[in-house]
């Protein structure tokens, strides 16, 4: 997986865009993945939901495996499932590059992170809107990514929760203090306006579903450029 080039200060020089395929045309998912790759995105964000941890049901490892031949871009797999530990191997084998889990999705988040790393994958922790940044105190040295949810997880198309900007700022300070190359990702209600706010607060990876896929395939490149602020 390519090494990120995030800068630990204000806005990074290159913001990574990770379109969420939750908003893609599921009848043509492989074609959609190829289209956003060609349109200039950086990662493919894959939202996995189980109808238990979140009130929605999406895809499993078989779909991730089926999509893997359609792009060489990193698969950024966000597991919104509980209990999560029993599925880590399957998603790693299916082709995930980054596996992100929620602290609430298993009894021992540190053990979950250790297991992801033992599989040769990069490990992320996702913070729901009510989950405090302080939860990262004893995890930050072991992870590669922090995902701040700026909506309550479960559905696309929700509005950005402004209070999460303070959390993004707090997490950015934590990351900078480590001196480590940890990505700060934001997911939920990201559009051209909220993207700028998230970047100013310290984010360097933006997940955007609706804002990427709106308008159809001919608009994907322009949508991605708008999210970058170009």
pTM across the whole model: 0.93
Distance CA 206, CA 203 (A): 7
For residue 5, pLDDT beyond 80 = no
- Which residues define the annotated binding site? 20, 45, 47, 78, 154-157, 187-189, 209-210
Task: Indicate which residues carry an active-site annotation.
Answer: 47, 187
Give pLDDT, residue 95. Answer: 98
Residue 83 preceded by cis peptide, ω within 30: yes
Q: Which pLDDT does position 4 carry in this prediction?
A: 41
Q: Quick check: 117 and 145 in contact, CB under 8 A? A: no
Binding residue ranges for substrate: 20, 78, 154-157, 187-189, 209-210
What are the tens digits of pLDDT across the range 66-109?
999 999 999 999 999 999 999 999 999 999 999 999 999 999 99
- Which position has the higher pLDDT, 7 or 210? 210
Higher-confidence residue of 160 and 8: namely 160
Mention the CATH class of domain 16-228. Answer: alpha beta
Task: State yes or no: cis peptide before 119, omega within 30 of 0.
Answer: no
Indicate whether 110 pLDDT > 80: yes
- Domain extent listing, the chain: 16-228
What are the residue ranges of helices labelled H in 119-191? 164-178
* Strand ranges across the sheet with 183-187: 16-19, 205-208, 183-187, 145-149, 122-127, 98-101, 75-80, 44-49
pLDDT-derived band at 33, boundaries 50, 70, 90: very high
């Amino acid at each position: 997986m390519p090494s990120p080039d995030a800068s630990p200060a204000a806005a990074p020089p290159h913001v990574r865009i990770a379109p969420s395929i939750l908003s893609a045309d599921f009848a043509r998912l492989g074609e959609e993945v190829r289209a956003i790759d060609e349109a200039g995105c950086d990662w493919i964000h894959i939202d996995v939901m189980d109808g238990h941890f979140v009130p929605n049901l999406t895809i499993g490892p078989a779909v991730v495996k089926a999509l893997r031949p359609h792009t060489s871009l990193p698969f950024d797999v966000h597991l919104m499932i509980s209990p999560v530990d029993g599925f880590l191997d399957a998603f790693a084998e299916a082709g995930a590059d980054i596996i992100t889990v929620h602290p609430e999705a298993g009894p021992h988040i540190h053990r979950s992170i250790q297991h992801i790393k033992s599989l040769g994958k990069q490990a992320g922790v996702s913070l729901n809107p009510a989950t405090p940044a302080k939860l990262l105190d004893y995890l930050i040295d072991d992870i590669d990514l922090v995902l701040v949810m700026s909506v309550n997880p479960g559905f696309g198309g929700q509005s950005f929760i402004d209070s999460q900007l303070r959390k993004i700022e707090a997490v950015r300070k934590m990351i900078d203090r480590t001196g480590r190359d940890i990505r700060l990702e934001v997911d939920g209600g990201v559009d051209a306006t909220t993207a700028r706010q998230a970047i100013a607060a310290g984010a360097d990876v933006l997940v955007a579903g609706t804002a990427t896929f709106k308008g159809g395939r001919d608009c994907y490149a322009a949508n991605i450029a708008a999210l970058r602020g170009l």
